Amino acid sequence: MKAINNPDKGFPRVFVLRWGHRPKRDLRLTTHVALTARALGASGFILSDVKDEKVKDSVEKVVRNWGGPFFFEMGVPWRRVVNEWRKNGGIVVHLTAYGENIETSDVLQRIKSAGKDVLILVGSQKVPGKFFSESVSDFNVAIGNQPHSECASLAVFLDRFFEGRELAKTFDNAKLIIVPQARGKKIITN
């Protein structure tokens, strides 16, 4: 992974690793996971094991129009990403309904107190059992212990991790900027 300046000073870098993407089935949801990662403060997104040019094109178009920086990579084996991340001193957070509940446990405090860059592992289909092991994940975190969307889990996790500050984040080189207002739509074109 290339080095990226973290625009969210005071917080570690966060990357999202998407596992199990099925190009004919998961195109829209994987794209939404990547866009959620970007919009809510992650520095990058890695689509492991497969290449899907449609996802890449969609994400790159958003970055070109709405700003960056945002790292995107695909086709890298998930195990290599995890091993390199940990070798470089980062921690791995696996989002799963079976993990420690982010609200009823101190798991978020333990993640933040580590002070390390975070790789968030987000599955698309049923993940292998080894994803829950210490050899892959430092933390297994649940956003509630009920089945729901991985996109929703990622959004809630990032919002809690960045303490809401990501909602006011600005992006470099944006061609399009939304002007918040009570009614209607207003976009500035740079």
How do residues 29-60 score in pLDDT, each as one tens digit? 999 999 999 999 999 999 999 999 999 999 99
CATH number of the domain enclosing 31? 3.40.1280.10
Q: What is the pLDDT of residue 9?
A: 60
Cα dihedral 83, 87, 93, 94 in deg (nearest 10)? 10
Number of domains in the chain: 1
In a domain, 2, yes or no: no
Q: What is the pLDDT of residue 1?
A: 43
Asked whether the predicted pLDDT for residue 64 surpasses 70, the reply is: yes
How do residues 1-35 score in pLDDT, each as one tens digit? 433 334 456 678 999 999 999 998 999 999 999 99
Q: What is the pLDDT of residue 6?
A: 41
Predicted TM-score (pTM) of this structure? 0.93
Nearest to 95 by CA among 144, 51, 130, 49: 144
Nearest to 166 by CA among 179, 154, 174, 175: 154
Structure tokens at 20: 């199990």
In a domain, 3, yes or no: no
| Contact assessment for residue 120 and residue 93, using Cβ atoms and an 8 Å cutoff | yes
In a domain, 162, yes or no: yes
In a domain, 180, yes or no: yes
In a domain, 28, yes or no: yes
In a domain, 32, yes or no: yes
In a domain, 7, yes or no: no
Q: What is the pLDDT of residue 11?
A: 78
Query: What residue numbers bound the domain in which 68 lies?
Result: 14-189
Mean pLDDT, range 132-159, rounded to an integer = 96
In a domain, 8, yes or no: no
Pairing type for strands 14-19 and 176-178 reads unpaired
